[in-house]
Amino acid sequence: MLASGQVFNDTKIELRLLEIPQAVPALEGVKMELLDCAFPALANVICTGDPLVAFKDADVAILVGGFPRKPGMLRKDLIQANTKIFLSMGQAINQVASINIKVLCVANPANTNCLVTLKQCAGRIPTSNFCAMTRLDYNRASAQIALKVGVEVSDVKNVIIWGNHSATQYPDAVTDGYVENQWGGKIPLSKTLQNETSWLQNNFLKTVQGRGKEVMNAR
């Protein structure tokens, strides 16, 4: 999506791919595939295991490289493992990246990882330049609302996910959520779901919180 121009339109980009050192040779295969696609917006691809090289003068950083949670692993262990990773990335961003860099943190727990990263850049890069993306949970919540209300999921807007991607997150459909009709009108979900308090606090909440586990069990 970055290389094809879907994200930054026709702006030419230099794509820096950061990996752990032992995985950089495999990353060269990804570079070959990108070059083979002859993407019009892709000016250059750099594969590296050095954060100082990856973030040098960078305008945008998308942080997807978190430590994966393994079976039996406690959440605090996951956070400790990721803290080391995002400390180092935050320090490198603060040291060599553009002062106007926009940082999107995707790796879970996204909110915590984002906070760890931005704390390393305090005083140099504005905190408003950092964002944690819990898009999967947002999509899950929006899909459940669409099914319940009987509308297209693209018409469900402004659902909120409070907290990290976990079983303690709180999907919130009614504070700012609304359904957009075909004439551009906005129908608040607080009105549409005013008689569905029990569903919102039970089925909806539990489905979004535990969806990943449900999917794995089903498959």
Residues 6+ apart with CB under 8 A from 110: 132, 133, 134, 164, 165
Domain 13-132 CATH (choose: 3.40.50.1000, 3.40.50.720, 1.10.10.10, 1.10.10.60): 3.40.50.720
- Distance between first and last Cα of the chain: 28
Query: Which tens digits make up the pLDDT trace of 168-196?
Result: 899 999 999 999 988 889 999 999 999 99
The pLDDT tens digits of the residues spanning 51-106 come to 999 999 999 999 998 887 777 777 778 888 888 899 999 999 999 999 999 999 98
DSSP string, 188-209: EHHHHTTT-HHHIIIIIHHHHH
Query: Coil, helix or strand for 212?
Result: helix
What would the CATH number be for the domain defined by 135-218? 3.90.110.10
Going from the C-alpha of 7 to that of each of 11, 31, 205, the distances in angstroms are 9, 19, 32
Query: What residues are annotated to the active site?
Result: 165
Q: Can you give the residue ranges of every domain in the chain?
A: 13-132, 135-218
